[in-house]
Structure 1
Amino acid sequence: MQINTKKLDSFRSLIQSIDLEGPPSAAFVGSPVDSPARCLVLDAAFNPPTVAHWGLARSGALASGASHVILQLSCSNVDKGIMEANLAQRLYMVAALATLKEQTSVTVCSHARFIDKANALAALDRQIQPIFAIGYDTLVRLFDPKYYEDMAGELEILFEKAEFVVGNRGDTDQSEMDRYLEDRTEYGGRIHTVTLDASFSDVSSSNVRRRSGQGENVRALVPEPVADLIKAFGLYT
Protein backbone atom coordinates (compact mmCIF):
# COMPACT_ATOMS: atom_id res chain seq x y z
CA MET A 1 0.00 0.00 0.00
CA GLN A 2 1.32 3.43 -0.97
CA ILE A 3 1.13 6.22 1.59
CA ASN A 4 -0.68 9.39 0.52
CA THR A 5 1.74 12.00 1.83
CA LYS A 6 -0.74 14.87 1.40
CA LYS A 7 -3.28 13.04 3.55
CA LEU A 8 -0.61 12.24 6.13
CA ASP A 9 0.44 15.90 6.24
CA SER A 10 -3.19 16.99 6.67
CA PHE A 11 -3.56 14.58 9.59
CA ARG A 12 -0.38 15.95 11.13
CA SER A 13 -1.69 19.51 10.82
CA LEU A 14 -5.03 18.56 12.37
CA ILE A 15 -3.34 16.93 15.35
CA GLN A 16 -1.09 19.94 15.85
CA SER A 17 -4.19 22.15 15.97
CA ILE A 18 -5.62 20.26 18.96
CA ASP A 19 -5.07 22.26 22.16
CA LEU A 20 -4.27 19.84 24.98
CA GLU A 21 -4.24 22.65 27.56
CA GLY A 22 -7.48 24.40 26.59
CA PRO A 23 -11.13 23.39 27.03
CA PRO A 24 -12.00 19.83 25.90
CA SER A 25 -12.27 19.72 22.13
CA ALA A 26 -12.73 17.21 19.34
CA ALA A 27 -12.61 17.40 15.56
CA PHE A 28 -13.96 15.23 12.78
CA VAL A 29 -11.51 13.70 10.32
CA GLY A 30 -13.15 13.84 6.92
CA SER A 31 -16.92 13.57 6.74
CA PRO A 32 -18.82 14.06 10.02
CA VAL A 33 -21.66 11.92 11.31
CA ASP A 34 -24.54 12.05 8.81
CA SER A 35 -27.37 11.77 11.34
CA PRO A 36 -26.00 12.39 14.83
CA ALA A 37 -27.78 10.30 17.44
CA ARG A 38 -26.71 7.33 19.53
CA CYS A 39 -23.04 6.94 18.65
CA LEU A 40 -20.78 4.14 19.81
CA VAL A 41 -17.49 5.91 20.61
CA LEU A 42 -14.33 3.83 20.77
CA ASP A 43 -11.66 6.17 22.13
CA ALA A 44 -8.16 4.71 22.18
CA ALA A 45 -4.50 5.30 21.42
CA PHE A 46 -4.75 2.86 18.48
CA ASN A 47 -1.06 1.96 18.52
CA PRO A 48 -2.01 0.13 16.34
CA PRO A 49 -5.74 -0.57 15.85
CA THR A 50 -6.40 -4.29 16.39
CA VAL A 51 -9.11 -6.82 15.56
CA ALA A 52 -10.13 -6.54 19.22
CA HIS A 53 -10.71 -2.80 18.83
CA TRP A 54 -12.81 -3.44 15.75
CA GLY A 55 -14.69 -6.31 17.39
CA LEU A 56 -15.58 -4.17 20.42
CA ALA A 57 -16.75 -1.32 18.18
CA ARG A 58 -19.01 -3.52 16.07
CA SER A 59 -20.37 -5.71 18.90
CA GLY A 60 -20.76 -2.70 21.19
CA ALA A 61 -22.81 -0.84 18.61
CA LEU A 62 -25.21 -3.77 18.32
CA ALA A 63 -25.47 -4.30 22.09
CA SER A 64 -26.20 -0.64 22.82
CA GLY A 65 -28.43 0.13 19.86
CA ALA A 66 -26.01 2.69 18.44
CA SER A 67 -26.76 3.89 14.93
CA HIS A 68 -23.23 5.08 14.23
CA VAL A 69 -19.64 4.30 15.23
CA ILE A 70 -17.04 6.94 16.02
CA LEU A 71 -13.41 5.83 16.19
CA GLN A 72 -11.73 8.50 18.30
CA LEU A 73 -7.97 8.92 18.56
CA SER A 74 -6.92 10.18 21.96
CA CYS A 75 -4.24 12.86 21.63
CA SER A 76 -3.51 13.05 25.36
CA ASN A 77 -1.30 10.84 27.51
CA VAL A 78 0.56 9.54 24.51
CA ASP A 79 3.31 7.09 25.37
CA LYS A 80 6.55 7.64 23.54
CA GLY A 81 9.16 5.10 22.55
CA ILE A 82 11.29 3.72 19.78
CA MET A 83 8.60 1.32 18.58
CA GLU A 84 5.73 3.82 18.72
CA ALA A 85 3.81 5.05 15.70
CA ASN A 86 3.35 8.80 15.76
CA LEU A 87 -0.16 10.25 16.05
CA ALA A 88 -0.45 11.09 12.35
CA GLN A 89 0.41 7.50 11.42
CA ARG A 90 -2.11 6.17 13.93
CA LEU A 91 -4.78 8.48 12.56
CA TYR A 92 -3.99 7.25 9.06
CA MET A 93 -4.55 3.65 10.23
CA VAL A 94 -7.80 4.55 12.02
CA ALA A 95 -9.12 6.37 8.95
CA ALA A 96 -8.37 3.31 6.83
CA LEU A 97 -10.15 1.08 9.35
CA ALA A 98 -13.25 3.29 9.29
CA THR A 99 -13.74 2.62 5.57
CA LEU A 100 -14.60 -1.01 6.33
CA LYS A 101 -18.04 -0.18 7.72
CA GLU A 102 -20.69 2.34 6.70
CA GLN A 103 -21.84 4.87 9.27
CA THR A 104 -18.36 5.03 10.81
CA SER A 105 -16.65 8.35 11.48
CA VAL A 106 -13.25 9.33 12.87
CA THR A 107 -12.50 12.04 15.40
CA VAL A 108 -9.53 13.24 17.42
CA CYS A 109 -9.92 14.42 21.01
CA SER A 110 -7.81 16.59 23.27
CA HIS A 111 -8.54 15.24 26.74
CA ALA A 112 -8.34 11.92 28.60
CA ARG A 113 -11.20 11.88 31.13
CA PHE A 114 -14.55 10.55 29.94
CA ILE A 115 -16.44 13.61 31.16
CA ASP A 116 -14.07 15.76 29.09
CA LYS A 117 -14.53 13.50 26.06
CA ALA A 118 -18.32 13.77 26.42
CA ASN A 119 -18.11 17.56 26.66
CA ALA A 120 -15.79 17.69 23.65
CA LEU A 121 -18.23 15.69 21.53
CA ALA A 122 -21.14 17.84 22.72
CA ALA A 123 -19.24 20.95 21.65
CA LEU A 124 -18.62 19.32 18.27
CA ASP A 125 -22.30 18.42 17.77
CA ARG A 126 -24.92 18.61 20.52
CA GLN A 127 -27.02 15.90 18.87
CA ILE A 128 -24.35 13.25 19.46
CA GLN A 129 -25.33 10.90 22.30
CA PRO A 130 -22.03 9.15 23.15
CA ILE A 131 -21.87 5.52 24.22
CA PHE A 132 -18.25 4.87 25.18
CA ALA A 133 -16.94 1.39 24.42
CA ILE A 134 -14.52 0.21 27.11
CA GLY A 135 -12.93 -2.95 28.42
CA TYR A 136 -13.80 -4.43 31.80
CA ASP A 137 -10.52 -3.19 33.28
CA THR A 138 -11.47 0.39 32.37
CA LEU A 139 -14.91 -0.09 33.94
CA VAL A 140 -13.25 -0.98 37.25
CA ARG A 141 -11.11 2.17 37.05
CA LEU A 142 -14.22 4.21 36.25
CA PHE A 143 -15.55 3.37 39.73
CA ASP A 144 -12.25 3.77 41.57
CA PRO A 145 -12.59 6.59 44.16
CA LYS A 146 -8.94 7.62 43.81
CA TYR A 147 -9.73 9.29 40.48
CA TYR A 148 -12.35 11.63 41.96
CA GLU A 149 -12.78 14.44 44.46
CA ASP A 150 -16.56 13.89 44.58
CA MET A 151 -17.11 10.46 43.01
CA ALA A 152 -20.91 10.31 43.33
CA GLY A 153 -21.43 13.82 42.01
CA GLU A 154 -18.97 13.49 39.15
CA LEU A 155 -20.37 10.13 38.06
CA GLU A 156 -23.90 11.52 38.14
CA ILE A 157 -22.87 14.28 35.73
CA LEU A 158 -21.00 11.80 33.52
CA PHE A 159 -23.90 9.38 33.23
CA GLU A 160 -26.26 12.23 32.37
CA LYS A 161 -24.07 12.92 29.35
CA ALA A 162 -22.99 9.43 28.27
CA GLU A 163 -23.58 5.70 28.36
CA PHE A 164 -21.05 2.87 28.36
CA VAL A 165 -20.78 -0.53 26.74
CA VAL A 166 -18.31 -2.89 28.39
CA GLY A 167 -16.51 -5.77 26.71
CA ASN A 168 -14.87 -8.59 28.62
CA ARG A 169 -11.09 -8.73 28.68
CA GLY A 170 -8.83 -11.75 29.16
CA ASP A 171 -10.36 -14.30 31.55
CA THR A 172 -13.30 -12.07 32.50
CA ASP A 173 -16.67 -13.52 31.46
CA GLN A 174 -20.22 -12.22 31.34
CA SER A 175 -21.10 -13.51 34.81
CA GLU A 176 -18.19 -11.64 36.40
CA MET A 177 -19.23 -8.40 34.70
CA ASP A 178 -22.83 -8.93 35.85
CA ARG A 179 -21.71 -9.50 39.45
CA TYR A 180 -19.62 -6.35 39.41
CA LEU A 181 -22.56 -4.29 38.16
CA GLU A 182 -24.99 -5.68 40.75
CA ASP A 183 -23.74 -3.07 43.24
CA ARG A 184 -24.15 -0.24 40.72
CA THR A 185 -27.84 -0.54 39.88
CA GLU A 186 -28.28 3.25 39.95
CA TYR A 187 -26.62 3.26 36.53
CA GLY A 188 -28.84 0.50 35.16
CA GLY A 189 -29.72 1.12 31.54
CA ARG A 190 -26.67 3.34 31.10
CA ILE A 191 -24.13 0.50 31.16
CA HIS A 192 -24.40 -2.26 28.57
CA THR A 193 -22.25 -5.38 28.40
CA VAL A 194 -21.06 -7.48 25.50
CA THR A 195 -19.15 -10.76 25.41
CA LEU A 196 -16.43 -10.61 22.80
CA ASP A 197 -15.26 -13.54 20.73
CA ALA A 198 -12.77 -15.65 22.67
CA SER A 199 -10.20 -15.12 19.92
CA PHE A 200 -9.94 -11.45 20.98
CA SER A 201 -9.15 -12.18 24.64
CA ASP A 202 -5.37 -11.87 24.36
CA VAL A 203 -5.22 -9.40 21.47
CA SER A 204 -3.77 -6.02 22.39
CA SER A 205 -1.80 -3.25 20.73
CA SER A 206 1.18 -3.99 22.97
CA ASN A 207 1.07 -7.63 21.86
CA VAL A 208 1.09 -6.55 18.23
CA ARG A 209 4.08 -4.26 18.80
CA ARG A 210 5.99 -6.93 20.71
CA ARG A 211 5.35 -9.72 18.23
CA SER A 212 6.03 -7.48 15.25
CA GLY A 213 9.29 -6.40 16.86
CA GLN A 214 10.24 -10.07 17.15
CA GLY A 215 9.68 -10.54 13.43
CA GLU A 216 6.40 -12.45 13.77
CA ASN A 217 3.51 -12.15 11.34
CA VAL A 218 0.76 -10.08 13.00
CA ARG A 219 -1.83 -10.10 10.21
CA ALA A 220 -4.20 -12.22 12.31
CA LEU A 221 -4.15 -9.56 15.05
CA VAL A 222 -4.99 -6.45 13.03
CA PRO A 223 -7.56 -5.64 10.31
CA GLU A 224 -6.22 -6.02 6.76
CA PRO A 225 -5.79 -2.30 5.93
CA VAL A 226 -3.96 -1.79 9.23
CA ALA A 227 -1.60 -4.67 8.45
CA ASP A 228 -0.85 -3.14 5.05
CA LEU A 229 -0.13 0.25 6.62
CA ILE A 230 2.12 -1.20 9.33
CA LYS A 231 4.20 -2.65 6.52
CA ALA A 232 4.07 0.52 4.40
CA PHE A 233 5.13 2.74 7.32
CA GLY A 234 7.73 0.24 8.51
CA LEU A 235 6.30 0.29 12.04
CA TYR A 236 7.13 -1.77 15.14
CA THR A 237 10.28 -3.38 13.78
Structure 2
Amino acid sequence: MFDFESHLNSFLKTTSKSFKLLFVTNNQFVLPITNRILVLDSSFNPPHKGHLSLVAKSLTHKLGDESAAHSSMNSRSVLLLLSIKNADKPPQPAKFEDRLKMMYHLAHEITDQLGVSCAIGITNCSLFVDKALTLEGYFKKNYTDRLSYTFLLGYDTLVRLLSPKYYEPRSLQDALGSFFNTSDCFVLTRNDGHDSLESQLQYLERMKKGMVADTPPTWADKIFLARGDAATENISSSSIREIIQSGSNSWISKTTPSVASFITEQRPYDDIRTPP
Protein backbone atom coordinates (compact mmCIF):
# COMPACT_ATOMS: atom_id res chain seq x y z
CA MET A 1 0.00 0.00 0.00
CA PHE A 2 1.05 3.59 -0.58
CA ASP A 3 3.14 5.07 2.27
CA PHE A 4 0.59 7.58 3.53
CA GLU A 5 2.23 8.14 6.90
CA SER A 6 5.48 9.61 5.59
CA HIS A 7 3.69 11.85 3.10
CA LEU A 8 1.29 13.00 5.81
CA ASN A 9 4.13 13.83 8.17
CA SER A 10 5.98 15.67 5.40
CA PHE A 11 2.90 17.77 4.66
CA LEU A 12 2.39 18.59 8.33
CA LYS A 13 5.93 19.98 8.51
CA THR A 14 5.46 22.38 5.61
CA THR A 15 3.95 25.84 5.93
CA SER A 16 3.95 26.80 2.26
CA LYS A 17 1.38 24.29 1.00
CA SER A 18 -2.32 24.07 1.75
CA PHE A 19 -3.06 21.02 -0.43
CA LYS A 20 -1.20 17.91 -1.52
CA LEU A 21 -2.27 15.26 -4.00
CA LEU A 22 -1.12 11.98 -2.50
CA PHE A 23 -2.31 9.12 -4.64
CA VAL A 24 -4.10 8.39 -7.93
CA THR A 25 -5.64 5.05 -8.83
CA ASN A 26 -4.81 5.46 -12.53
CA ASN A 27 -1.60 6.72 -14.06
CA GLN A 28 -3.09 10.14 -14.80
CA PHE A 29 -5.75 11.99 -12.82
CA VAL A 30 -6.51 14.76 -15.32
CA LEU A 31 -6.78 13.54 -18.91
CA PRO A 32 -7.27 15.72 -22.01
CA ILE A 33 -10.98 14.86 -21.87
CA THR A 34 -11.34 15.69 -18.16
CA ASN A 35 -13.41 18.82 -17.57
CA ARG A 36 -14.70 18.36 -14.02
CA ILE A 37 -13.31 17.30 -10.66
CA LEU A 38 -15.85 15.78 -8.27
CA VAL A 39 -14.67 16.59 -4.75
CA LEU A 40 -15.82 14.35 -1.91
CA ASP A 41 -14.71 16.21 1.20
CA SER A 42 -15.34 14.16 4.33
CA SER A 43 -13.84 12.90 7.57
CA PHE A 44 -13.83 9.33 6.14
CA ASN A 45 -14.07 8.05 9.69
CA PRO A 46 -14.76 5.50 8.25
CA PRO A 47 -15.66 5.61 4.52
CA HIS A 48 -18.96 3.88 3.78
CA LYS A 49 -21.51 2.93 1.13
CA GLY A 50 -23.14 6.35 1.41
CA HIS A 51 -19.90 7.88 0.09
CA LEU A 52 -19.84 5.38 -2.77
CA SER A 53 -23.48 6.10 -3.64
CA LEU A 54 -22.84 9.86 -3.63
CA VAL A 55 -19.98 9.46 -6.09
CA ALA A 56 -21.92 7.05 -8.31
CA LYS A 57 -24.92 9.37 -8.65
CA SER A 58 -22.77 12.44 -9.27
CA LEU A 59 -21.07 10.70 -12.19
CA THR A 60 -24.28 10.39 -14.19
CA HIS A 61 -26.07 13.59 -13.16
CA LYS A 62 -26.07 16.61 -15.47
CA LEU A 63 -24.07 19.37 -13.84
CA GLY A 64 -23.84 23.05 -14.73
CA ASP A 65 -24.27 24.06 -18.35
CA GLU A 66 -22.76 20.86 -19.72
CA SER A 67 -24.09 19.56 -22.98
CA ALA A 68 -24.89 15.89 -23.30
CA ALA A 69 -21.64 15.42 -25.22
CA HIS A 70 -19.56 16.81 -22.36
CA SER A 71 -21.22 15.28 -19.32
CA SER A 72 -20.12 11.67 -19.62
CA MET A 73 -18.42 9.79 -16.81
CA ASN A 74 -15.21 9.80 -18.86
CA SER A 75 -14.94 13.58 -18.51
CA ARG A 76 -15.00 13.47 -14.70
CA SER A 77 -12.46 12.48 -12.07
CA VAL A 78 -13.05 11.99 -8.35
CA LEU A 79 -10.99 13.55 -5.55
CA LEU A 80 -11.33 12.20 -2.02
CA LEU A 81 -10.31 15.11 0.21
CA LEU A 82 -9.35 14.86 3.88
CA SER A 83 -8.93 18.01 5.95
CA ILE A 84 -6.19 17.81 8.57
CA LYS A 85 -6.68 21.33 9.87
CA ASN A 86 -6.72 20.16 13.48
CA ALA A 87 -3.71 17.89 13.10
CA ASP A 88 -2.11 19.37 16.21
CA LYS A 89 -4.75 17.53 18.21
CA PRO A 90 -4.85 13.71 18.25
CA PRO A 91 -7.56 12.73 15.72
CA GLN A 92 -10.21 10.52 17.23
CA PRO A 93 -11.13 7.83 17.07
CA ALA A 94 -9.18 6.81 13.93
CA LYS A 95 -5.78 8.34 13.16
CA PHE A 96 -5.36 10.32 9.96
CA GLU A 97 -3.04 7.69 8.47
CA ASP A 98 -5.68 5.01 9.09
CA ARG A 99 -8.34 7.15 7.44
CA LEU A 100 -6.07 7.66 4.43
CA LYS A 101 -5.56 3.90 4.18
CA MET A 102 -9.33 3.38 4.25
CA MET A 103 -9.68 6.11 1.59
CA TYR A 104 -7.15 4.16 -0.48
CA HIS A 105 -9.47 1.15 -0.44
CA LEU A 106 -12.51 3.30 -1.26
CA ALA A 107 -10.62 4.97 -4.13
CA HIS A 108 -9.86 1.59 -5.71
CA GLU A 109 -13.48 0.50 -5.30
CA ILE A 110 -14.62 3.71 -7.02
CA THR A 111 -12.27 3.08 -9.94
CA ASP A 112 -13.01 -0.65 -10.18
CA GLN A 113 -16.79 -0.34 -9.86
CA LEU A 114 -17.45 3.00 -11.56
CA GLY A 115 -14.63 3.16 -14.09
CA VAL A 116 -13.24 6.61 -13.25
CA SER A 117 -9.91 7.86 -12.00
CA CYS A 118 -9.90 8.60 -8.28
CA ALA A 119 -7.30 10.52 -6.27
CA ILE A 120 -6.65 11.13 -2.59
CA GLY A 121 -5.65 14.56 -1.32
CA ILE A 122 -5.09 16.30 2.00
CA THR A 123 -5.59 19.93 2.93
CA ASN A 124 -5.12 22.15 5.96
CA CYS A 125 -8.06 24.34 4.93
CA SER A 126 -11.19 24.02 7.04
CA LEU A 127 -13.72 26.18 5.15
CA PHE A 128 -15.30 25.13 1.86
CA VAL A 129 -14.49 28.47 0.25
CA ASP A 130 -10.81 28.10 1.11
CA LYS A 131 -10.73 24.50 -0.11
CA ALA A 132 -12.32 25.52 -3.41
CA LEU A 133 -9.84 28.34 -4.02
CA THR A 134 -6.90 26.13 -3.04
CA LEU A 135 -7.94 23.33 -5.38
CA GLU A 136 -8.55 25.73 -8.25
CA GLY A 137 -5.09 27.24 -7.77
CA TYR A 138 -3.38 23.85 -7.53
CA PHE A 139 -4.97 22.31 -10.62
CA LYS A 140 -4.59 25.50 -12.65
CA LYS A 141 -0.87 25.54 -11.86
CA ASN A 142 -0.19 21.83 -12.28
CA TYR A 143 -2.75 20.74 -14.87
CA THR A 144 -5.12 23.13 -16.64
CA ASP A 145 -7.36 26.13 -16.05
CA ARG A 146 -10.35 24.62 -17.86
CA LEU A 147 -11.62 22.46 -15.01
CA SER A 148 -14.89 22.83 -13.12
CA TYR A 149 -15.24 21.76 -9.48
CA THR A 150 -18.26 20.08 -7.92
CA PHE A 151 -18.37 19.38 -4.18
CA LEU A 152 -20.37 16.28 -3.26
CA LEU A 153 -22.53 16.77 -0.16
CA GLY A 154 -25.28 15.19 1.85
CA TYR A 155 -28.30 17.44 2.42
CA ASP A 156 -27.36 17.95 6.07
CA THR A 157 -23.96 19.31 5.04
CA LEU A 158 -25.57 21.67 2.53
CA VAL A 159 -27.76 23.12 5.28
CA ARG A 160 -24.71 23.72 7.46
CA LEU A 161 -22.80 25.23 4.53
CA LEU A 162 -25.59 27.77 3.98
CA SER A 163 -26.29 28.54 7.64
CA PRO A 164 -25.57 32.26 8.31
CA LYS A 165 -24.63 31.62 11.95
CA TYR A 166 -21.34 29.98 10.96
CA TYR A 167 -20.11 33.13 9.22
CA GLU A 168 -21.11 35.93 11.60
CA PRO A 169 -20.37 38.81 11.62
CA ARG A 170 -19.86 38.43 7.85
CA SER A 171 -22.90 38.08 5.65
CA LEU A 172 -23.50 34.74 3.94
CA GLN A 173 -23.11 36.31 0.49
CA ASP A 174 -19.81 37.88 1.46
CA ALA A 175 -18.49 34.65 3.00
CA LEU A 176 -19.57 32.22 0.25
CA GLY A 177 -19.71 34.40 -2.84
CA SER A 178 -16.29 33.31 -4.09
CA PHE A 179 -17.14 29.65 -3.44
CA PHE A 180 -20.10 29.71 -5.80
CA ASN A 181 -18.06 31.72 -8.31
CA THR A 182 -15.56 28.86 -8.67
CA SER A 183 -17.56 25.76 -7.68
CA ASP A 184 -20.96 24.13 -7.49
CA CYS A 185 -22.52 21.38 -5.36
CA PHE A 186 -24.11 18.02 -6.01
CA VAL A 187 -26.35 17.04 -3.10
CA LEU A 188 -28.11 13.81 -2.12
CA THR A 189 -31.11 13.75 0.19
CA ARG A 190 -30.62 12.21 3.62
CA ASN A 191 -32.87 10.15 5.86
CA ASP A 192 -31.52 11.27 9.22
CA GLY A 193 -34.80 12.24 10.88
CA HIS A 194 -34.28 16.00 10.63
CA ASP A 195 -36.01 17.05 7.40
CA SER A 196 -38.63 15.15 5.44
CA LEU A 197 -37.81 13.96 1.95
CA GLU A 198 -40.45 16.31 0.56
CA SER A 199 -38.93 19.29 2.36
CA GLN A 200 -35.44 18.41 1.07
CA LEU A 201 -36.62 18.04 -2.51
CA GLN A 202 -38.34 21.45 -2.34
CA TYR A 203 -35.28 23.23 -0.93
CA LEU A 204 -34.04 24.63 -4.22
CA GLU A 205 -37.48 25.90 -5.16
CA ARG A 206 -37.65 27.75 -1.84
CA MET A 207 -34.22 29.21 -2.53
CA LYS A 208 -35.26 30.40 -5.99
CA LYS A 209 -38.20 32.20 -4.37
CA GLY A 210 -35.94 33.92 -1.83
CA MET A 211 -37.29 31.84 1.05
CA VAL A 212 -33.90 30.55 2.32
CA ALA A 213 -32.38 33.00 4.79
CA ASP A 214 -29.69 35.31 3.36
CA THR A 215 -29.22 33.08 0.31
CA PRO A 216 -29.32 34.66 -3.19
CA PRO A 217 -31.84 32.89 -5.43
CA THR A 218 -29.14 32.59 -8.12
CA TRP A 219 -27.21 30.14 -5.94
CA ALA A 220 -29.90 27.56 -6.66
CA ASP A 221 -28.45 27.33 -10.18
CA LYS A 222 -25.16 26.12 -8.68
CA ILE A 223 -26.73 23.37 -6.55
CA PHE A 224 -27.86 20.06 -8.04
CA LEU A 225 -30.11 17.98 -5.82
CA ALA A 226 -30.91 14.30 -6.28
CA ARG A 227 -32.72 11.68 -4.26
CA GLY A 228 -30.49 9.38 -2.22
CA ASP A 229 -30.72 5.59 -2.31
CA ALA A 230 -33.01 4.19 0.36
CA ALA A 231 -30.36 1.64 1.35
CA THR A 232 -27.64 4.22 2.02
CA GLU A 233 -29.24 7.60 2.72
CA ASN A 234 -29.25 7.11 6.50
CA ILE A 235 -25.67 5.81 6.78
CA SER A 236 -23.13 8.01 8.54
CA SER A 237 -19.60 7.48 9.83
CA SER A 238 -20.73 8.30 13.37
CA SER A 239 -23.48 5.67 13.28
CA ILE A 240 -20.96 3.06 12.10
CA ARG A 241 -18.62 3.94 14.96
CA GLU A 242 -21.50 3.61 17.42
CA ILE A 243 -22.27 0.12 16.12
CA ILE A 244 -18.58 -0.84 16.37
CA GLN A 245 -18.56 0.42 19.95
CA SER A 246 -21.58 -1.73 20.76
CA GLY A 247 -19.72 -4.85 19.71
CA SER A 248 -22.19 -5.75 16.94
CA ASN A 249 -20.99 -6.72 13.47
CA SER A 250 -23.95 -5.13 11.69
CA TRP A 251 -21.74 -2.19 10.66
CA ILE A 252 -20.05 -4.41 8.05
CA SER A 253 -22.97 -4.15 5.65
CA LYS A 254 -22.86 -0.35 5.84
CA THR A 255 -19.35 0.05 4.46
CA THR A 256 -17.56 -1.37 1.43
CA PRO A 257 -15.94 -4.82 1.44
CA SER A 258 -12.31 -3.71 1.37
CA VAL A 259 -12.87 -1.00 3.99
CA ALA A 260 -14.66 -3.53 6.21
CA SER A 261 -11.72 -5.91 5.85
CA PHE A 262 -9.28 -3.15 6.81
CA ILE A 263 -11.30 -2.28 9.93
CA THR A 264 -11.59 -5.93 10.92
CA GLU A 265 -7.89 -6.66 10.41
CA GLN A 266 -6.25 -3.39 11.49
CA ARG A 267 -8.79 -2.43 14.19
CA PRO A 268 -8.46 1.38 13.98
CA TYR A 269 -11.47 1.79 16.28
CA ASP A 270 -10.35 -0.40 19.15
CA ASP A 271 -10.10 2.66 21.39
CA ILE A 272 -13.86 3.21 21.23
CA ARG A 273 -14.92 -0.36 21.90
CA THR A 274 -16.86 -0.92 25.09
CA PRO A 275 -14.64 -2.69 27.65
CA PRO A 276 -15.73 -6.28 28.42
Question: Equivalents in 2 of 1:132, 1:146: separation in Å?
Answer: 21
Match of 1:159 among 170, 180, 197: 180
Higher relative contact order (CA 8 A, sep 6+): 1
Q: Do structure 1's residue 96 and structure 2's residue 89 form an aligned pair?
A: no
Secondary structure of 1:182 counterpart? helix
Partner of 1:85: 94
SS in 2 for 1:68: strand
SS in 2 for 1:73: strand
Contact 2:189 2:201 in 1 (8 A): no
Q: 1:177 aligns with which of 200, 203, 215?
A: 200
Task: Write the deviation string for residues 115-163 of structure 1: whole angstroms up to 9, x where unpaired.
Answer: 1111121222123421001111111122211222132123221101110
Question: Structure 1: which 5+ residue stretches go unaligned?
Answer: none
Count of matched residue pairs: 229
Cα shift at 1:180: 2.0
CA RMSD after TM alignment? 2.4
TM-score by length of 1: 0.86
Q: TM-score, normalized by length of structure 2?
A: 0.75
Counterpart CA distance in 2 for 1:80 and 1:169 is 30
Q: Is the 8 Å Cα contact of residues 107 and 118 (structure 2) preserved in structure 1?
A: yes
Displacement after TM superposition at 1:46 (Å): 0.3
Read off the aligned partner of 1:177 and give its amino acid letter.
Q
Hey, which bits of structure 1, 4+ residues long, moved more than 4 A?
Answer: 19-24, 77-82, 171-174
1:113 and 2:127 are equivalent in the alignment: yes
CA spacing shift, 1:22–1:190, aligned 2, 3 Å = farther
Larger radius of gyration: 2
- Report the Cα distance in structure 1 between the residues aligned to 2:222 and 2:166, rounded to whole angstroms: 20
2-side partners of 1:109 and 1:49: how far apart?
A: 18
* Partner Cα distance (1:200, 1:57) in 2: 12
| Unaligned runs of at least 5 residues, structure 2 | 64-70, 209-217, 271-276
Q: In the TM superposition, what whole-angstrom CA distance separates every residue of 1:95-134 from its partner, at most 9, and x where no partner exists?
A: 1111122321111111111111111212221234210011
Judging changes above 3 Å, is the alpha-carbon distance between structure 1 residues 23 and 59 closer, same or farther for their aligned structure 2 residues? farther
Q: Using the aligned pairs only, state the percent identity.
A: 28
The amino acid that maps onto 2:153 is I
Give the residue type in structure 1 aligned to 2:266.
Answer: F
